[in-house]
Amino acid sequence: MKRKLLFGERMLLGDGTEPFNAVIPFRLHGIFKEEEIRYALGRLQEKHPWLKALIQYDEQHIPWFQVPEATVSIPIRLVNRENEDDWQEESKQEWHSTFDYQTKPLIRFVWIKGEVVSDMLFVFHHCLCDGGSAMALLYEFLKVLDNPNAEIGLENPILGIEDVVPAHILQSGKKQFKAKTIGRLAALAIKCIPVGRKVIDRQTDYLIHWKFDKKTSEQLISYCKSRGITVNTFLGATVLEAFRKVRGAAAFNKVSCPVDIRRFAPQIKDDHIFAFGLMIVMSLNQKLNFMDNLRLMQTEVERKTAKLNPYITMMVMESAHDALKNFTRLLKRGKSSNDCMFSNLGRIQIPDQYRTFSLETVFSPSVIGPLGNTTTMVTSTFRGQMDFSFMGSEGYLPQAEALAIRDEIIGRIRQQLDYKTAS
């Protein structure tokens, strides 16, 4: 089984010399044997063919996912657990470790082993899967770890764009012409945009983590419901306000927000291994107060989201493979134009209680890569607690400023919740 990498997957893969890795950390209470973990990982590979895939290049040096006849098991790295924050240091180490993807799969596993508490990390190359896929894999892994006989099914894998874009759209002459025209114009524009001679030195990477307790998380969700806005819009506006307060004129007043393609393309199932994302941008109106901005931003988010078209977007990108080099060059060397990437995974729908262990928490995933500004914030909610991971690099956003932004975000959220309580 094999398939060519799509445009976005090739962009994330790069030439293989620079890692672009996503890390999904979680904490378990229980006692485990290594063979139990290996068995559960093996079951994941049995279900999902692309978890066995290697990267092979054809005569035109185009990369393909290719499943070998003899399965290469998911590598496990064992670490002794010394303290509560070991998972953060191991996450940063995994960011910087490349995948030997021509001989090993694009997924590995880290077990930070304690006596009764273990922190574990799934590590993926970002070209393999997105956050939605990762959460499905975590759910299946825990299910099999708890019960080796558990049924998790078999994935019918995506073998190309034709498995995502409906035939009547993919084969439409008008749609093909539109996609190719947009793709050619975009490729020309990208080629003409001036960029620096050197890749920006991102210097030291860092990870900042924090979590709201259950009461604060519930208050935040209630606050948003009472005002008719989503948690995502509220947090996006708060992030923008915090960047403006800390960075002043250096702030861009833009955050990019991934949108799960599964909302628009039902062909992509929750448990599909897939890494294609859609995107919208949030900005504040500098002349409005926070509450008016929330209402305006919610309207804008709904308008932009409604206009998203995953099918045409994929067709445009697939028509532009010859522009990949210029696009990558622009991302690496062009000037940053947004403050950060902000991703809200929402509620993680995974059980916390099992027969022989319990899932104490799922830390929000972290991801960092070589394609421009690394500043990224990911939030998720598990067991009623909202969790935040804030990644960045000194060369784009000094850690001292990132810590000030974190404090500003926490302070502004508490201020809004206190105001609501008082009123």
Q: What is the pTM of this model?
A: 0.94
Is 176 a member of any domain?
A: no
Based on the fold, state whether residues 117 and 244 are members of the same structural domain: no
pLDDT tens for the chain, 423 residues: list them.
999 999 999 999 998 889 999 999 999 999 999 999 999 999 999 999 999 999 999 999 999 999 999 999 999 999 999 999 999 999 999 999 999 999 999 999 999 999 999 999 999 999 999 888 999 999 999 999 999 999 999 999 999 999 999 999 999 999 999 999 998 888 888 887 777 777 888 999 999 999 999 999 999 999 999 999 999 999 999 999 999 999 999 999 999 999 988 888 889 998 999 988 899 999 999 899 999 999 999 999 999 999 999 999 999 999 989 889 888 888 888 788 899 999 999 999 999 999 999 999 999 999 999 998 999 999 999 999 999 999 999 999 999 999 999 999 999 999 999 865 555
Based on the fold, state whether residues 104 and 209 are members of the same structural domain: no
Based on the fold, state whether residues 123 and 233 are members of the same structural domain: no
Based on the fold, state whether residues 20 and 132 are members of the same structural domain: yes
Output the 3-class SS for the chain.
Answer: CEEECCHHHHHHHCCCCCCCEEEEEEEEECCCCHHHHHHHHHHHHHHCHHHCCEEEECCCCCEEEECCCCCCCCCEEEEECCCCCHHHHHHHHHHCCCCCCCCCCCEEEEEEECCCEEEEEEEEECCCCCHHHHHHHHHHHHHHHHCCCCCCCCCCCCCCHHHCCCHHHHCCHHHHHHHHHHHHHHHHHHHHCCCCCCCCCCCCEEEEEEECCHHHHHHHHHHHHHCCCCHHHHHHHHHHHHHHHHHHHHCCCCEEEEECHHHCCCCCCCCCCCCCCEEEEECCCCCCCHHHHHHHHHHHHHHHHHHCCHHHHHHHHHCCHHHHHHHHHHHHHCCCCCCEEEEEEEECCCCCECCCCEEEEECCCEEECCCCCCCEEEEEEECCEEEEEEEEECCCCCHHHHHHHHHHHHHHHHHHHHHHHHC
- The number of distinct structural domains making up the chain is 2
Is 322 a member of any domain?
A: no
pLDDT of residue 342: 97
pLDDT of residue 421: 56
Based on the fold, state whether residues 235 and 355 are members of the same structural domain: yes
Based on the fold, state whether residues 213 and 131 are members of the same structural domain: no
Is 41 a member of any domain?
A: yes
User: Can you give the residue range of the structural domain that contains 238?
Assistant: 204-308+335-422
Based on the fold, state whether residues 129 and 213 are members of the same structural domain: no
Based on the fold, state whether residues 234 and 344 are members of the same structural domain: yes
Is 299 a member of any domain?
A: yes
